[in-house]
Structures are given as C-alpha cells and as structure tokens.
Amino acid sequence: MFSAVAGPSPAPVADESGGGVCGSDINSVSEEETQEERDRDEGVRVEPATLLEWPNQSPDLNPIEHLWRDLKMAVHQRLPSNLTELERICKEEWQRIPKSRCEKLVASFPKRLMAVLDQKGASTKY
C-alpha cells in the first residue's frame, strides 16, 4: 500500500508464533481520516491491534537521526551546486563518518532512553 501522506507502509515483522508488529507513524498524519480508515478504504485487512505507548516524537532514541544531522551539516558546508554533486558529496561525507561516532551513539542509548523516560516522552538535551 502507498499513502500520499506517509509513503509506502512498513512491512509487518512476524515472530515465530505468527504475531507481529507493524510500525505506523500515526501522529504525523494531519488529515482527519485515520490510518485505519485509509487502510480499510484501500482493502487492507484491518485487525484489532494493541497500541504501544511511544513518545510522539522520539528522535532522541534513534541514532540514525543524529547521523543524518551530521551528514546534513557536512554536506551543507561543501555547498553542492547541482544534483549530481549533491549525490557525490553525500556519499563521500557518509563514508567519512567515523565508526567511533556510531559506536558512541549506540553506547549512549541507555542514557538517552532514561532521559526520554524521565521527560515522559518530551524533548531531551539529546
């Protein structure tokens, strides 16, 4: 399924018992129609689901968000002048991100998780 608002829906991830999880960023939908209503209209089988509590916005918990920021800043400093140059610079700068940066982000996850929990899902210093 493809939504003009959210793009392709994530594929469900099933466990051995047949249960699964399907991610949906329902908080980002600005239309009055719910994701469930859109799925039903598009013929997607909608079954009862348990809504997991999750902060509305939790980039603090996602290390890739920090890496995207790093990449964006590095690319911006190089001032690409066309799409081809932008693509080349993005690839070069992505390769320049040190392994230690990734390791640091992964190692800091417990602290970031506790900060998000302490803030009850609100923004943190991370």
| 19-56: pLDDT as tens digits | 555 555 544 444 556 666 776 677 766 677 776 666 55
Own/partner long-range contacts of 94-101 (Cβ < 8 Å, ≥24 apart): 97/67, 97/70, 97/71, 101/67, 101/70
pLDDT of residue 57: 61
Distance CA 75, CA 4 (A): 28
Q: Where are the domains of the chain?
A: 2-41, 59-118
Mapped onto helix, strand or coil, the DSSP state of residue 14 is strand
What does pLDDT average to over the chain?
A: 75
Q: Which tens digits make up the pLDDT trace of 2-11? A: 344 444 544 4
Q: How far is CA 29 from the centre of its chain?
A: 15
Least Cα distance to 120 among 55, 68, 73, 50 occurs for 55
pLDDT of residue 33: 63
